[in-house]
């Protein structure tokens, strides 16, 4: 394994770690604290970096565990995805943009209603772009469990979208 640098390899992960922590803790300040503590813990474990298969997966797992611990203490619920994550289609007219924004808002609400395992799997795969192996390591599941959670979550969202779009027909 190549030599890892905190500045070049770990610090750039802070935004991903923050988004994951925010999805779990539902509190921006709490998520920032979680990320800060994760970065401190990772730095303290720098002598063990060479033994890790993936430092990114390790960071995601630590973030997930710490955020869950903190959210259980606060008895948190779900937070919606940040609206700024979606890039509007600049070639669409005002009506199409409004329709697209409304669809995105519905999708966010539907995802936020999913069970935690499905919601986190969709966050890491569909929004963060992680592969199954990385998600499995971060969530402490097998790749098959990740695939099942993704399938079930996507299926529920798709079914609800169809119900919404076909309402009144």
- Per-residue pLDDT reduced to its tens digit, 66-114: 888 877 666 434 444 444 445 555 567 888 888 888 888 888 888 888 8
DSSP the chain: -PPP-IIIIIGGGHHHHHHHHHHHH--HHHHHHHHHHHHHHHHHTGGGGGG-S-HHHHHHHHHHHHHHHHHHHHT----PPPGGGSPP-TTS-HHHHHHHHHHHHHHHHHHHTS-HHHHHHHIIIIIS---HHHHHHHHT--HHHHHHHHHHHHHHHHHHHHHHHTTT-
* Across 23-51, average pLDDT: 87
- Per-residue pLDDT reduced to its tens digit, 107-141: 888 888 888 889 888 888 887 888 898 888 888 88
> Which domains does the chain carry?
1-78 (1.10.1740), 85-169 (1.10.10.10)
Per-residue pLDDT at 43: 87
Pair of tokens at residue 116: 């935690």
CA distance 9 to 74: 32
Whether 162 shows a pLDDT value over 90: the answer reads no
């Amino acid at each position: 394994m190549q030599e890892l640098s905190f500045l070049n390899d770990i610090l750039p992960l802070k935004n991903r770690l923050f988004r994951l922590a925010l999805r779990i803790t539902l509190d921006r300040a709490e998520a920032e604290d979680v990320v800060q503590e994760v970065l401190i813990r990772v730095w303290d474990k720098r002598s063990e970096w060479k033994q890790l298969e993936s430092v990114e997966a390790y960071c995601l797992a630590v973030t997930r565990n710490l955020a869950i611990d903190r959210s259980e203490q606060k008895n948190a619920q779900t937070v919606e995805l940040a609206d700024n994550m979606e890039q509007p289609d600049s070639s669409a007219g005002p009506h199409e943009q409004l329709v697209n924004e409304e669809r995105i808002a519905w999708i966010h609400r539907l995802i936020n209603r999913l069970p935690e395992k499905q919601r986190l799997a969709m966050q890491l795969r569909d929004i963060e772009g992680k592969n199954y192996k990385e998600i499995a390591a971060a969530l402490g599941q097998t790749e098959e469990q990740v695939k099942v959670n993704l399938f079930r979550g996507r299926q529920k969202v798709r079914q609800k979208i169809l119900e919404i779009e076909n309402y009144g027909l």
